[in-house]
Structure 1
């Protein structure tokens, strides 16, 4: 899917100039004259980035950035300002802005930043889609299979898992095979990585948490 750059600036001349610059290298863009118009845009999961005027009149650029962190974390923000506001730039960078450019913006620099930001957007979306896929696989596990997955990731042997869960080693082997199949894991190392992707829980944390002990 081709990226879409959102240009948010109340100055019509600046906004149109930026969009023409993007169009010169075949990057699709859409312009917004107010922060509210951008915030109320139709949502999608298209890769892209936001060129955002820090001092847009109707909303704080930093507030818009914070809202994006919640509703569209795949859209990196490149701030633009004619004020050289050091304090605001520090705050923006701390909260995850891709960069902070001073107006008048150098065209080559801006295009380089846009390319980098849209590539990062693609990576974020790919990571999100992978996580969703892994979580969907985990949702297919039965409660007992989920218990066995937790124990396997924690590093316990089949015999130890059987003792901890109160089931036979053969039953553990059966559940373990089902887990590997449903998770589409070709190895234990891959299974651990998939579990970490879905839960954020490391093997040591899983080991410390202990089993659910379902019957």
Structure 2
């Protein structure tokens, strides 16, 4: 791993990670990225990048396509399988259309062929960091919803799964073999614990969780 970073080490700041096996490219990109006020950290290989714990700050990855051992596309696939969400901007001097299509299809923000304009790279980085902020916000929201959902009792979790599928109280009561009055009590408790006022709000909130949580268990 290179030690090139911007002067700021603020953990809440945005970060740009550069992975390229060419030292001259890493140095040039580092200088460019720092010139627009962004924190940057460079790595000579995918393995070096994977060996260092990621910061919790919004970040993006500038990734060379062709590298020894583990290619950029292989690293992208590995990160996806591991559930690591980080927006990627690919750069390459040997790219082709099928390669670019594959990268974009799997979530890359941009695929830039060398030589590219500095403005194009900075624009791609800005887009990637905006995506990173959105992803982080969404992850935090899902965590909040999950925390509220886990406050429900086992029976309330069964009831909410039917409610968000559009079942009426009497239908839920019939499915679960309990009274409609009891369902109404559960429904009131669910709305209170999930901190929502309307059914559409509850449905949208439950959609943020895994699909299995919003479907009745048969």
TM over 0.5: same fold? yes
Distance of 2:48 and 2:66 partners within structure 1: 15
After TM superposition, list the pairs within 5 Å mapping 1:21-32 onto structure 2.
21-32=32-43
SS at match of 1:198: coil
Question: Aligned pair 1:6/2:17, yes or no?
Answer: yes
Deviation at 1:73, TM superposition (A): 3.8
- Unaligned segments of structure 2, at least 5 residues: 1-11
Aligned match of 2:133? 122
Question: Aligned pair 1:132/2:107, yes or no?
Answer: no
Deviation at 1:151, TM superposition (A): 1.9
Q: Structure 1 residues 194 and 63 mapped into 2: Cα distance closer, same or farther (>3 Å)?
A: same
Distance of 1:34 and 1:163 partners within structure 2: 60
Distance of 1:182 and 1:121 partners within structure 2: 30
Aligned match of 2:7? none
Q: Structure 1 residues 72 and 2 mapped into 2: Cα distance closer, same or farther (>3 Å)?
A: farther
SS at match of 2:196: coil
Deviations 1:41-65 (A, max 9, x none): 2133321111111112232111111
Contact 2:161/2:213 (<8 A) preserved? no
SS at match of 1:43: coil
Question: Aligned pair 1:188/2:203, yes or no?
Answer: no
- TM-score (norm: length of structure 2): 0.87
More helix by share: 1
Picking from 37, 55, 58, the partner of 1:44 is 55
Cα RMSD over matched residues? 1.9
After TM superposition, list the pairs within 5 Å mapping 1:155-174 onto structure 2.
155-174=166-185
- Unaligned segments of structure 1, at least 5 residues: none
Aligned match of 2:186? 175
